[in-house]
Structure 1
Amino acid sequence: MQITKRYWIHVGNRCNLKCKFCYYQDSLHQENNKTTTEIKKELRFIKYFWRKNRVDFTGGEPTIRSDLPDLIKYARKIGFKQVGIITNGLLLSNENYFKKLIEAGLDDVLFSIESPSAEKHDALTCVKGSFSKLINGIENAKKLNLGFRINITITKQNYKDLPELARFLLKFKPKVVNIISFNPVEDAEFHSEDMMASFSEVAPYIKQTINILKDHTKQINVRYIPFCFMKGYEKYICNKYQQKYDTYEADLILREWLWVGPFLTVYHILKGIIRLSLKQLLTQSLYSSFYDGILKSYQKFHRKSQECKKCNCNNICLGLTQKYAEVYGVKELKALSGKITLNPLEFRKNIKYP
């Protein structure tokens, strides 16, 4: 399977919500948005130098930018075959604005919804009325015949709502649903104990959610939870090792290159690649080995237990984040039996992305 040809353009941290689980919660109102010229330069760089052909605009919130239609149109002009936005959906409640984005070339939207309850969704986003506007935006996507995806972030406050949210989403028929465990990185790390539920508690609700959705959506991805919590549902796990083949995920090497610079990127690759097995190096492309090298260097931010050494998924799983281990420990981790695998797609060999 081909490594993702997509990249996410981060337009800045500014947003019209203040979600309690946001990576950039403490910098949402900073004047750090990139200029139109800077973003167009970045688009050319990832298209012509890195040969990417799909792009998503993300933030913060991309729809609060007045130049978004122009940016979408420019991305199409220079040859991107798919142009999307990752959004809270508030401004897409305006059908005329939504049409304007589609006319510019928008053909994919990733909405975030946190609960079937307006009260709970609004509490998590810290803006009253955000739920109703989001639903209007999703309804507009359906009305305008635009395929869309859904992100659900799992927190202590909403994990028991997951099955009900799944049933609520059935009528909208999203093409992809991403079920994402709270990820304690960036600013979100400082809110971990308030937001992060234990995987042992969450896993049964995720499984119920999958059972409800699996025959009604083309793809379900479960992120940031180790395989051992999802026994019998391993094919839905799409963590860092699996994401490099997810056509909707951003290329990790390119993200490193643009966020920390080429020198640190090369350092991370070299630091990690020496930890790959000879079999891994001989059975995959050089670029794929570079990718895995970066992931190996990420292992220092994660924790495993002695059980992991016996697990058949040990080589395709990063384990727990350091912050999760600080809060809940590592005793929940249990080895999965079976043949040891080096293939990140061991359980996802037949995946076909819509």
Structure 2
Amino acid sequence: TNGDVNIEKYQRLFDLGLGHVQISMHDTGKILDEISERKEAGKRQWQFLEWLNEKKYPFRINITIQQANYHSIPDTAMKALKLGAFHISLLNFLPHYHWRERAGEVAVHPVELVPYLQGTMHQLEGKVLFTLRYFPMCLLQPQFWKYVTNARFVLFDPGEWDYGSYSEDEDKVWEDAIRIGEAVAIQGEPCNSCLLREHCGGWNRYYAEAFHLEGLKAIREIPDEYKDVIGKRGGLFDLNPANKE
């Protein structure tokens, strides 16, 4: 939800047993108005967030990263933390459908995002569950690799969609995960020779092409802290506490 519904309706949902809500908190105030294309959307969402905090109702938030808001990601995430969000998802914009030809209009160059994302994750680490969805691991410091969920593992992410894969057989879900990931992944270098290929899945080729593959590189050395898990299916993914909900 974007929190733009009458609070009484949310109260009724919680009274009926709603466990928690997920809020698209892409920013606050005027910037959220711009992103959502609705006047006072930021004001209404903030009132909803304060109500959730006052009532102690559980909620998670996602921040879709784009040109309009990426400078304020650290501030938005810390506001969500102070309001009591139990999980924060930094959700990088991916160019699906018609956006594949217009990615540069909304998406941000991944190299430019790195200081904002790493700064945010540094502030959140150890304080709240969080996930960075859809970002090339090779651009990040190793300490943040475990927080990244790309297409290869999105089916196993407890806070994401099932994308039409409903099997309870883990091997079948894994087959679906590989199929979904390979459909959008770079097929070739630098991803094919990267030691993180089985965890990252290969970066989204449409996003990469929009920025001419700049910044991408194959990881050829693994820090000691990851050597025991790098060869295991889901080894890095399982290190993120958010994936154990």
Common topology (TM > 0.5): yes
Pair 318,102 (structure 1): closer, same or farther in 2 beyond 3 Å: same
Counterpart residue type for residue 175 of structure 2: G
What's the Cα RMSD here? 2.4
In 2, Cα distance between the equivalents of 1:346 and 1:168?
A: 28
Unpaired stretches in structure 2, ≥5 consecutive residues: none
Instruction: Please state how far the C-alpha of 1:288 moved relative to its aligned partner.
Output: 2.2
Matches within 5 A, 1:90-101: 90-91=4-5, 94-101=6-13
The equivalent residue for 2:3 is 89
In 2, Cα distance between the equivalents of 1:103 and 1:168?
A: 26
The equivalent residue for 2:194 is 311
Identity %: 24
The equivalent residue for 1:84 is none
Aligned to 1:222, the other structure's residue is in SS state: strand
With normalisation by structure 1, the TM-score equals: 0.61
Instruction: Please state how far the C-alpha of 1:256 moved relative to its aligned partner.
Output: 4.7
The equivalent residue for 1:293 is 175
Larger Rg: 1
Matches within 5 A, 1:205-224: 205-217=116-128, 219-224=129-134
- 2:225 is the alignment partner of 1:343: no
Matches within 5 A, 1:319-334: 319-334=202-217
Conserved 8 A contact 1:316-1:342: no
Matching residue within 133, 140, 144 for 2:55: 144
Aligned to 1:251, the other structure's residue is in SS state: coil
In 2, Cα distance between the equivalents of 1:287 and 1:190?
A: 36
Pair 157,244 (structure 1): closer, same or farther in 2 beyond 3 Å: same
In 2, Cα distance between the equivalents of 1:173 and 1:216?
A: 11
Unpaired stretches in structure 1, ≥5 consecutive residues: 1-86, 258-264, 266-285
Aligned to 1:122, the other structure's residue is in SS state: helix
With normalisation by structure 2, the TM-score equals: 0.85
Instruction: Please state how far the C-alpha of 1:120 moved relative to its aligned partner.
Output: 1.2
Instruction: Please state how far the C-alpha of 1:200 moved relative to its aligned partner.
Output: 0.9
- 2:33 is the alignment partner of 1:122: yes
My pick for the range that moved more, 154-163 or 240-249, is: 240-249
In 2, Cα distance between the equivalents of 1:241 and 1:345?
A: 13
- Matched residue count: 235
Instruction: Please state how far the C-alpha of 1:343 moved relative to its aligned partner.
Output: 2.1
Instruction: Please state how far the C-alpha of 1:307 moved relative to its aligned partner.
Output: 2.6
Conserved 8 A contact 1:166-1:212: no
Pair 153,139 (structure 1): closer, same or farther in 2 beyond 3 Å: same
